[in-house]
Structure 1
Amino acid sequence: MTSPATSAPHVSESNPVRDLPLRHLAGFTHRWADADGLRLHAVEGGRPGAPAVVLLAGFPQTWWAWRKVMPALADRFHVLAIDLPGQGHSERPEGGYDTHTVAAHVHAAVRELGVSRYTLAAHDIGAWVAFSLALGFGSHLRGVALLDAGIPGITLPEAIPTDPERAWKTWHFAFHTVPGLPETLLAGREREYVGWFLKAKALSPDTFDDAETEHYAAAIAADGGLRASLAYYRDAAESARKNREALDRQHLTVPVLGVSSSHGSIPDMAASLSPWADNTTRTVVPDAGHFIPEEQPEAVAAALADFIATDD
């Protein structure tokens, strides 16, 4: 379903990250949307006019994390995979990486692309943004599916465990917030760093081949991508504060699908979110680690399709 990474002249004039080759997925088109002053990259396909599903990826990835899920959804849905600010081929602003600010940009991009109501599915840091988006723009959502992520201020632990059996999953949260040090240590070593996450957090260390590792590492290395990736962690305290303030006024009222995996970070996403959401559904994907959309794409696509159908 995919072709090699190449540059596409017909879209390059809109691309704010020229140094990163575009990856193409058969049946899908690259788009850039004006999202309240930022250009965000989207990959669009599927059935125009059908129920829309918007996909967000997390660290250390791009929209490409959904490449195996998107064709399975395209027969029934209008599919949009969006790079977050600072991610992939989206613009990399100097600041504004708290999840409520980012959520407003993402929602503006979806509206700019002609979609007014949609289901949101998001993984890792993408799920941080999706949770905040559901709080701020819930009336535009049919539902939100959150995959294997602790949410700042809600379910993300305040303290990093020191037990080696658990610390390897979360040690980077503190490291990424240290001013300047990660940039000093990681510049020029993005491939080694990204490769560690992909191998350590997938159930099978063979899930990602060299080309995929190179793509994700190149995205972080290009045009301020490392700074932007770290900024989500550095603004996590602000994201937590805004989440708690919003939840003092309201609960999540949109349907929530909590997607966990057999060997992921959060054993039961739905249970962890249920105190703050009125309508939660649980699914656990077997034989997967943290990177569920790439490890078990068929199961993820089926779960999302069932979730959207239930809402219908």
Structure 2
Amino acid sequence: MTAPAITDHGGDNPVPDLPLHDLAGFTHRWVDADGVRLHAVEGGRPDGPAVVLLAGFPQTWWAWRKVMPALADRFHVIAIDLPGQGHSERPDGSYDTHTVAAKVHAAVNALGVPTYWLVAHDIGAWVAFSLALTYESRLRGVALLDAGIPGITLPDAIPTDPEKAWKTWHFAFHLVPDLPETLLTGREREYVDWFLKVKTFSPDTFDDAEIEQYAMSLAADGGLRAALAYYRDAAESARKNHEALERQHLTLPVLGISSSHGSIPDMAASIGPWADNATGVVVPNAGHFIPDEQPDAVAAALTDFIAESD
């Protein structure tokens, strides 16, 4: 079998018009993941335990930029842009999380990593949960950060209480055919600005350059379509999750990372019915975007989780 192609330059970048940001000590890679080119940023200790990071909406791998250096002394750190995200290809077809999980796992294989710890936030955690259900034998543990996972931690009904509704209203909005595209095209920056400022404990967590960076990714060819597709395929993701859970529950170590002002008050309790070995931590003074808001606390929680699980 021919080994998947790996490049460490921008020549195979499927989103060349989107500015590429560097992080000291890390290298950009593009891998062929079952026919989809995915972007990975790799660094740290090559001989250390591998830690794979996945970000969520409306972000990219850059969401982990403050956490990655703190992990690099001990771990082989790999942040991957999901299909449709950042500098990864924006394919047509299904974005249900089991389909996407297979692409992510193929990317990790292409990078030559046999086993790994998986850490994921928001939509990245949707994908990580489905990946763990299918490839549990290849994972050493999973950490999931503040995520309404379809069929798992996502409430069946969107609350109408204004004090709660602002946290999850977009799930229904993103499901509506065509309307989000009509309202958001050309206004991606305003939309991203709202998410990043309202859903943080401190609204000055993100500066204008970061907001612009994420907005540009969403506006890049196919980015908005792909971002919405994760929500539009959420029912299929939930169905496949429950099909898998009928066969077995997760037995590997699972860490639920919640925050004092996040969307899911207790990730560990929400995941517990489907995971035999789930523990949790709550990060203080943080909203939904925990890796950006409290990177040192996230890095410490992950380091402790891996050490205790090993």
* TM value normalised by structure 1: 0.96
Confirm or deny that 1:260 pairs with 2:224: no
Tell me what 2:17 maps to: 19
1:144-159 equivalent positions in 2, closer than 5 A: 144-159=142-157
Partner of 1:13, secondary structure, is helix
Deviation at 1:252, TM superposition (A): 0.6
1:311: how far off? Answer: 2.0
- Runs of 4+ off more than 2 Å: none
Q: CA deviation at 1:27?
A: 0.3
Is this contact kept in 2: 1:19–1:223, CA < 8 A?
A: no
Map residues 215-254 of structure 1 onto 2, 5 A cutoff. 215-254=213-252
Match of 1:129 in 2: 127
Q: What amino acid maps onto 2:284 in structure 1?
A: P
Who is 1:35 aligned against?
33
Give, in whole Å, the separation in 2 of the partners of 1:265 and 1:58: 14
Q: What are the residue-to-residue correspondences of 1:145-224 with 2, within 5 Å? A: 145-224=143-222
Q: Tell me the number of residue pairs that the alignment of Structure 1 and Structure 2 aligns.
A: 304
Q: For 1:83 and 1:185, how far apart are their aligned partners in 2? A: 25
C-alpha contact (below 8 Å) 2:8/2:29 kept by paired residues: no
Aligned residue in 2 for 1:87: 85
- Determine if the alignment matches structure 1 residue 97 to structure 2 residue 98: no
Percent identical: 81
Distance apart, 1:207 and its partner CA: 0.3
Determine the structure 1 residue equivalent to 2:112.
114
Could you tell me whether the CA contact under 8 Å between 2:8 and 2:27 is conserved in 1?
Answer: no
Deviation string 1:184-225 (CA, Å, 9 cap, x unpaired) is 110000000000000000000100000000000000000110
SS at match of 2:9: helix
1:231 is displaced (CA, Å) by 0.3
Per-residue CA deviations over 1:261-287 (Å, capped at 9, x if unaligned) read 011011110011111000011100011
Q: Is the 8 A contact 1:58 1:126 kept in 2?
A: yes
State the match for 2:68 in structure 1: 70
Question: Which blocks of at least 5 consecutive residues in structure 2 are unaligned?
Answer: 1-6
Task: Find the residue that maps to 1:32 and give its secondary structure.
Answer: strand
Q: Deviations over 1:33-69 (max 9, x none)?
A: 1101100000000000110000000000000000000
* CA contact 1:107–1:133 (8 Å) conserved in 2: yes
Deviation string, structure 1 residues 1-37 (Cα, Å, up to 9, x no partner): xxxxxxxx97221100011010100000000111011
Tell me how far 1:165 sits from its aligned partner.
Answer: 0.6
Amino acid at match of 1:58: G
The answer as to whether partners of 2:8 and 2:30 remain within 8 angstroms in 1 is no
**Contact 2:119 2:144 (C-alpha < 8 Å) held by counterparts:** yes
Q: What one-letter code is carried by the residue in structure 2 that aligns with 1:217?
A: A
How many angstroms apart in 1 are the aligned matches of 2:10 and 2:71? 27
Q: Which amino acid aligns with 2:171?
A: F
User: Residue type of the partner of 1:195?
Assistant: D
Compute the displacement of 1:308 (Å).
1.0
Aligned residue identity for 2:81:
D
- The residue that corresponds to 1:279 in the other structure is 277
TM-align CA RMSD = 1.0
Q: Which amino acid aligns with 1:213?
A: I
On the 8 A contact 2:8/2:28 being kept in 1, the answer is no
Q: 2:306 maps to which residue?
A: 308
State whether residues 40 and 81 of structure 2, in contact with CA within 8 Å, keep that contact through their aligned partners in structure 1: yes
Contact 2:28 2:42 in 1 (8 A): yes
Q: Which amino acid aligns with 1:77?
A: F
| Structure 2: distance between partners of 1:199 and 1:122 | 21
Cα distance between partner residues in 1 of 2:19 and 2:182: 25
